[in-house]
A and B are shown apart, each in its own frame.
Chain A
Amino acid sequence: MFINFFYSLRDHGIPVSPTSFLRFHKALNTGQVLSLKDLYTVARSTLVKSERYFDSYDQIFAHYFEGAEMPPITDLELDEIARALLEEWLKNPAQMADALGIDESKLRKYTPEELIQYFLDRLKEQTKEHHGGDRWIGTGGTSPVGHSGVHPGGMRVGGSGGGMSAIKVALERRYRDYSQQGPLTQSQIGEALKKLRRLVPSGPRDVVNIDKTIYETMRNAGEIEIVFDKRLKDRLKIILMIDNGGWSMDPYVHIVQVLFDYARDQFKELKTYFFHNTIYEQVWEDHTRYKKPQKIITFPNKDPESRIVIVGDASMAPYELMYESGSIYFEEKKSKASIDNLKFLAKTFRHVVWLNPRPLNQWSHTWTTEAIQEVFPMFELTLDGLDKAVNYLMLRN
């Protein structure tokens, strides 16, 4: 039962495992599933393991059990289906005619082209009026379970006020917000940053170190000597440097800042600096890059265990990066080449990453991006890239 439903879920990218499918059948046998609504609920709780897929599930469920329109069916897809139908037809006209509820002899007169047109018309009719009843198009065996018997009786849900049918519930698409295609939110990214921590002992000595206690007690000839340790606490320092010059970075500045702020309480210290395009003599604490400069030269005073995260698109004119006095700002003219400053940072701190909001496949188009990649490991500013960057930052060496 429901094999097609199972594959339908899989085809739409919901990771449904065979084990959970078996478990779903076990659930059917518990006598708990009495209505289509129950089926909807139980199938979802056993098969779908993340709210991100609830939306897809709703659509597939509605489609499968009620023949609701499966959005989006494009004309191209319709063509495909019609063509497939034609093939079926040519193989076995009698059976198809039977399945479609049409007169075989009538269609026999049609040319293949006419047939395709006929199928297309029927298909379009189908997508428009999905409650038409005779869902004859190969939508994977919809009708046997969907409409018969179960549907009317068990639909209403007692007690919850305005109970809705499973199909209605499914069609509502309540979980659209959680769908994977939704935009990246702060909390999603905060999750990736959670890994970014380093536990070191700190605070009062209030945890008993058992091994040491036993050792010390034995040394003390059995007189008990309890040894206390400090608790492990997260003491990671983060230095965040953001390229906030130029429109190319504008959409990302805020989100990056917010996301690290969001995770602020898990770090001992979070310092944010700003720069434009690349780093010369100094970076700034204020986003106007004017009031509070901080010389790169002074950075070695900071904890060398600090993790440095640089966010920027790494795209600029090559001379900005490579030439001495390459800065586009006049007052910075007398400086080392920016690339040397970057190398200096890379040498001073063991853990530096560069996050690039531009997609990976564009990196090789910009010469400076590749040059910077040679200095720092570079990751995409996506959930995935962030994850990798965090993993890199947490490497021991």
Chain B
Amino acid sequence: MSENNSFQKFRGASKYVLDEELAKIVNVSMALEMPLLLKGEPGTGKTMLAHAIAENLAMPLISLNVKSSMKLVDALYQYDTLTRLNDSRFGDSTRDVSNIEDYIRMGKIGQAFVSDVRTVLLIDEIDKADTDFQDDMLDILDQMEFDIMEIDKTVKAKNRPVIIITSNAKKDLSDPFLGRCNFHHIAFPDTDMMKRIIAVHFPKLDQEVADACIEAFYRFRRVDGIEKKPATRELINWIRALKADPDFDISSLSRGDVPYLGVFFKKSTDLAMASKMIARSQN
């Protein structure tokens, strides 16, 4: 891309605590003009990263939430046949019915391509789609162009978007797909990192309270046999809940009295297990 892009480096955003390793990977991916594939436990901030990059580089963010039923063409463009049919019947719009192009609407990838400024394109949860979708999409992102079949026109990217792809799958994506991406796995943050994350989200939170909450949080993550471990998102929501509760007293936490367990554990078996553990520790 143009010269000044090389100076656009990603350094982190206001609500996102970036570890240096990830920042480096983002920068290299941008320099190499390659999509960055992010994997990691839910709640480790894969999606947040794209938001943070967009904020930091002051680029618009376009996010494509992949669904299992999605076809690739939906992500590129839509030919709005129904509106055209409607217009041809009633003819009360400014659109030209004989001009199909008037009825082509860009999908998310298409929008990122035709945008006048460089954008951040987030392709969220790619693992939901089937392998064909994934490979074909990478072809398009590789070539930075696609054809609109109905009007035989090629859409070329004006600016190569910064592409972030996330996947929750434990299973690997296909080899050709992986070959075209840079890869990073976001590990779950350790205690120090978590303290910084909490500090960013709750700047006014008392240090003592924060530490107690984080400690309780990691204790819950260590409970054996939990199916869905609480993640960063749950911790933030939990602290938010505690803050909203005027009756909450920090000393109760150390006594092992934990309110709002439901924020942490979304599955009833997990919740039961956690309550049991708390009851045990109190005795």
Contact = CB atoms under 8 A, between A and B. Distances in A.
A133 to B, nearest CB: 28
A208 interface: yes
Interface in B214-229: 227
Contacts of A115: none
Interface of A: 15, 17, 19-20, 23, 26-27, 30-33, 37-38, 41-42, 44-46, 48-52, 54, 157-163, 174-175, 178, 185-188, 191-192, 208, 210, 213-214, 217, 222-224, 226, 232, 262
Given A162-B192, A210-B82, 16 more contacts: A23-B32, A27-B28, A30-B28, A32-B27, A32-B31, A41-B21, A46-B32, A49-B183, A51-B185, A159-B20, A174-B187, A175-B185, A178-B185, A186-B227, A222-B89, A224-B86
Nearest to A234: B68
Contacts of B179: 17, 19-20, 49
A192 B120 CA distance: 32
Contacts of B175: 15
Contact of A191 (B169, B182, B227): B169
Interface of B: 19-21, 24-25, 27-29, 31-32, 34, 36-37, 39, 69, 81-82, 85-86, 89, 169-172, 175, 178-179, 181-185, 187, 192-193, 196, 227
Contacts of B31: 27, 30-32
A54 B171 contact: no
B173 to A, nearest CB: 8
A218 to B, nearest CB: 10
**Top 3 closest A-B pairs, CB basis?**
A51-B185, A49-B178, A30-B31
A222 B91 CA distance: 13
Secondary structure of the B contact surface, majority rule:
helix
Given A41-B24, A49-B179, A158-B20, A224 B29 contact: no
Nearest to A49: B178
A367 to B, nearest CB: 36
Contact of A49 (B32, B82, B172, B193): B172
- Select the residue from A42, A49, A175, A213 with max chain B CB neighbours within 10 A: A49
B192 A32 contact: no
B88 to A, nearest CB: 8
A306 to B, nearest CB: 22
A49 to B, nearest CB: 4
Nearest to A27: B28
Nearest to A226: B82
Contacts of B181: 49
Contact of B183 (A50, A185, A223, A226): A50
Contact of A45 (B69, B89, B182, B227): B182
B85 A217 contact: yes
Nearest to A29: B31
A192 B184 CA distance: 23
B196 A161 contact: yes
Contacts of A159: 20
Contact of A42 (B25, B89, B169): B25
Nearest to B86: A224
A226 B32 CA distance: 48
A214 B85 contact: yes
Contact of B24 (A32, A163, A186, A192): A32
A213 B81 CA distance: 10
Nearest to A387: B171
A355 B40 CA distance: 30
B171 A191 contact: yes
30 contacts: A17-B179, A19-B179, A20-B179, A27-B28, A31-B31, A32-B28, A33-B28, A37-B21, A38-B24, A41-B24, A41-B28, A42-B24, A42-B25, A45-B182, A45-B183, A45-B184, A46-B32, A49-B37, A49-B172, A49-B179, A51-B39, A51-B185, A160-B20, A160-B21, A185-B170, A187-B170, A208-B82, A214-B85, A224-B89, A232-B69
